Structure 1
Amino acid sequence: MTQLNQLSPQPLWQFFSQICSIPHPSKHEHALSDWITQWAKSEGLSVQQDRIGNLIIKKPASSGMEHKKGVILQAHIDMVPQKNSDTEHDFTKDPIQAYVDGDWVTAKDTTLGSDNGIGMASCLAVLASKDIAHGPIEVLLTIDEEAGMTGAFGLEPGYFDGEILINTDSEEEGEVYMGCAGGVNVNVHFPIQTQPLAVAQSGYQISVSGLKGGHSGCDIHLGRGNANKIIARCLYELSQQTELDFTLSQLQGGSLRNAIPREASAQFIINDTNQQQLEQAFTALTAQIKATLAHTEPNLAISLAPIQVNQVLAKNEQQRLIAALHGCVNGVLRMSDEFAGVVETSSNLGVVKTTPQGIDIQCLVRSMDDSSRNDVQNMLESVFKLAGAQIVFDGAYPGWAPKADSDMRDLVREVYQAEFGSTPKIMMIHAGLECGLFKAVYPNWDMVSIGPTIKFPHSPDEKVHIGSVAKYWQLLVKVLEAIPVK
Structure 2
Amino acid sequence: MDKKIEKVLEIFKKINSIPRKSKNEEAISNWLVEWAKSNSFKVVRDDFLDVLITVPASKGYEDRPTIVFQGHMDMVCEKIPESNHDFSKDPIEMYIDGDWLKARETSLGADNGIALALAIAIAEDKDVKHPELELLFTVDEETGLTGAVNLKANWVQGKKLINIDSEDEGVFTIGCAGGRDAKIELSSPLVENYKYDTSLIVEVGGLSGGHSGVDIHLEKANSNILLTRLLKEISYKGIGFKLAELNGGSAHNAISRSSRAHIAINSCDIVTIKEILNSKLKLMKSEFIVTDPNMKLSITESTKLEKVRDKKVLDLILALPHGVMYNSSQMEGIVETSCNLAVISTAENCFKILMSQRSSVMSRLDEICNKIDSVVKLSSGGVEFGGGYPAWQPDFKSTILKELKDCYINIFNKEPKIEVIHAGLECGVIGAKYPGMEMISIGPTIKHPHSPDEKLHIPSIGDIWLLLVRYLSI
TM-score tier after normalising by the smaller chain length: over 0.9
> CA separation in 1, counterparts of 2:216 and 2:304?
35
**Equivalent of 1:421 in 407, 413, 422:** 413
Q: Which residue of 2 is the match for residue 78 of structure 1?
A: 74
Alignment of structure 1 residues 259-408 onto 2, 5 Å: 259-315=254-310, 318=311, 320-408=312-400
Q: Give the structure 2 partner of residue 31 of structure 1.
A: 27
TM-score (norm 2): 0.97
The CA distance in 2 between the partners of 1:62 and 1:279, in whole Å, is: 69
Cα deviation, residue 142, structure 1: 0.3
Q: Which residue of 1 aligns with 2:438?
A: 446
**What is the TM-score with the length of structure 1 in the denominator?**
0.95
Report Cα offsets for 1:200-242 as digits up to 9, x if no partner: 6220122101001111111111121100010111122222222
- Specify the alignment match of 1:121 in structure 2: 117
Kindly tell me: are residues 196 and 135 of structure 1, through their superposed partners in 2, closer, same or farther at Cα, counting changes over 3 Å? Answer: same
Percent of pairs with identical residues? 38
Q: Describe the SS at the equivalent of 1:374.
A: helix
Aligned residue in 2 for 1:42: 38
Report deviation, 1:339: 1.8
Question: Distance between the aligned counterparts of 2:336 and 2:308, measured in 1?
Answer: 38
Please, which runs of 5 or more residues in structure 2 have no aligned partner? none
**2:283 partner SS:** helix
Gaps of 5+ in 1: none
- The Cα of 1:309 is off from its aligned counterpart by 4.5
More deviation, 179-188/58-67: 58-67
Residues 127-173 of structure 1: CA deviation (Å, up to 9, x unaligned): 11211111111110001111111100100122222110000000011
Query: What are the residue-to-residue correspondences of 1:126-205 with 2, within 5 Å?
Result: 126-198=122-194, 201-205=197-201
Tell me, yes or no, if the aligned pair for 1:112 and 1:462 is still in contact at 8 Å: yes
Which of 55, 58, 62 pairs up with 2:58? 62
Count of aligned positions: 474
Corresponding residue number in structure 1 for 2:88: 92
Counterpart of 2:392 in 1: which secondary structure? coil
Work out whether residues 7 and 13 of structure 1, in 8 Å CA contact, stay in contact via their aligned partners in 2.
Answer: no
The corresponding residue for 1:110 is 106
Q: Secondary structure at the match of 1:396?
A: coil
Runs of 4+ in structure 1 deviating by more than 6 angstroms, as ranges, are: none
Secondary structure at the counterpart of residue 375 of structure 1: helix
Measure how far apart 1:8 and its partner are.
4.3
1:226-237 paired onto structure 2 within 5 Å: 226-237=222-233
Verify: 1:255 aligned to 2:250, yes or no. Answer: yes
Work out whether residues 193 and 308 of structure 2, in 8 Å CA contact, stay in contact via their aligned partners in 1: no
Counterpart-to-counterpart distance in 2, 1:274 and 1:161: 68
TM-fit CA distance, 1:251: 0.2
**Contact 1:249–1:311 (8 Å) recurs in 2:** no
Q: Is the 8 A contact 1:104 1:463 kept in 2?
A: yes
Q: 1:61 to 1:233 in 2, by over 3 A?
A: same
Structure 2 residue 462 is the aligned partner of structure 1 residue 466 = no
